Amino acid sequence: MATENTDPRISPRAGQLPAQDQLVDTGKLLDAYASLTPDPASAAQRVAFGTSGHRGSSIARSFNEAHVLAISQAICHWRRRAGTDGPLFIGCDTHALSQPAFESAIEVFAANGIDVMVPAGGEYTPTPALSQAILVYNTGRSNGLADGIIITPSHNPPEDGGFKYNPTHGGPADSNVTGWIEKEANRLLAEGLKGVKRLPYAQARRAPTVREHDFLEAYTADLGTVLDFDAIRASGLRLGVDPLGGAGVHYWARIAERYRIHLDVVSEQVDPTFRFMTLDWDGRIRMDPSSSYAMRRLIAMKDRYDVAFACDTDHDRHGIVAPSGLMPPNHYLAVAVDYLFRNRPQWRPDAAVGKTLVSSAMIDRVATRLGRRLYEVPVGFKFFVDGLLDGTLGFGGEESAGASFLRRDGTVWSTDKDGIAAALLSAEIAARSGRTPDLLYRDLERDFGVTSADRIDAPATPEQKRKLASLSPDQVRSTELAGDPIESVLSRAPGNDGPIGGIKVVARSGWFAARPSGTENIYKIYAESFRGEDHLRSILGEAQGIVNKAID
């Protein structure tokens, strides 16, 4: 029997299909993309690259044709500045704004004489397929290197659009690159786009510099170098996948056919309103495979399959549904690390385990038992790129269900998050171990303890957010955290010495990290305890007190 939700943060509509009046008006969205002009004097309407590119909505004048034209021209300027003169791979997902943004970008790149590789047959393109294409093309080359663009707002609601640049290393661009592109794009916006070169789309598409690349075939054919499909096939596992109406919608059937595995694609429906998605925790449509509310459809099918999985709209995130239900992302990451480093003998013996500093400390304990170095970095997948590229990182994962890992021979696969490979890894784990990932996580709990984790948002003024972002460890006066002596206070990540943009406080049985939001007047507290739910609540309460005392 279902229990009544008493958490005031959770919408009473969470987990239900959206009502008609909750669906985005795609006609209005597309009209606004072409007709509304952003005001460069308004911060909310300027180009702003976050950890995953520029995102916004056309109705809010934060993702319009002008933004895409300016960003595309700025990328042309950046390529000349960086000496990147190979082809530019480009693809998009299934959000309503992605296709018009794709066309706008092609108009600019063709006018600038850029060699552009577009998806064969107009197929949607997952983020990892773009990364794989760049890396394969650049292998063995020292010049004429390729880069790429993926047009996606990831798992964001249907009204959003997004635009992300991946340089020649195939992964997310670092802040030096995105900062330059952002500044240049905003200059072009402020000058009324007078420096933007552009051709009509039909003419641009016929340009000799615009050619097709079969992302789907290239990616799926190469996937066997990453995963043990022989073991999956021999196991006879019953597998299910829900693409959530995203860019990999046609990839799964090709994978099942090529590798002859029992994989059921539960839906190939594509609809830019995403009317088939159950509402997320806040009552909004969001294609988040780590959310039990958004994943209600696949969770209801769990008894049909030994393991099932889903990916978000650009397929860079994964969600694993085991017989016990949807696994929390941190649980699966810990199992994946434990399995991979025991079952990839060709990986370098010194290959490290990469994690963001707000990911579970269970991963730390697993890495220690494996005898592997832990590489802990600030939030952002870009910090794993170099290590995945040269094989010094075997795995990179973040708390929001994003991960990538090396090919079986220890060479680079994808330097961006790969939800497809991470999802299928759950099948390999079950096939070779004879146990599903949720049961393997119970083994880790037996060995290392049971974790409880949560994240809360707390109000903060812009001045308090500024103080938190620049907080130093010596400003934290507390010596204990929920009854345990504080072992360390960090403002820089131990792995790469990168600034956290906040603090992390670590004690023996738990930790918390606090960071200001980049878009709202709040700060976020992440916390984890190895001593149960009550101890976790104590950590969260004390964390808020520690932070408020330091920033007031």
Q: Which of 57, 72, 154, 292 is catalytic?
A: 154
Is residue 154 part of the annotated active site? The answer reads yes
Three-state DSSP class for residue 336: helix
With 0-12 / 13-18 / 19 or more C-beta atoms within 10 angstroms meaning exposed / middle / buried, residue 449 is middle
**Residues ≥6 apart with Cβ < 8 Å to 219:** 126, 128, 129, 132, 133, 251, 420
Token pair belonging to 140 = 């063995």
Taking residue 286's Cβ as centre, other Cβ atoms within 10 Å add up to: 23
Distances (CA, A) of 426 to 9, 145, 294, 435: 31, 34, 20, 10
Query: Number of C-alpha atoms within 13 angstroms, CB side, residue 388?
Result: 29
**Residues ≥6 apart with Cβ < 8 Å to 168:** 84, 86, 134, 138, 145, 146, 147
Closest CA to 210 of 90, 303, 95: 90
Buried b / exposed e along 1-40 (16+ C-beta atoms within 10 A): eeeeeeeeeebebbbeebeeeeebebeebbebbeebebeb
Closest CA to 119 of 250, 18, 278: 250
d(CA 114, CA 111): 8
d(CA 323, CA 301): 10
First to last CA, the chain: 46
121: left (phi over 0), alpha (psi -120 to 50) or beta: left
| Alpha helix stretches (DSSP H) within 236-291 | 251-259
d(CA 35, CA 43): 20
Residues with catalytic roles: 154
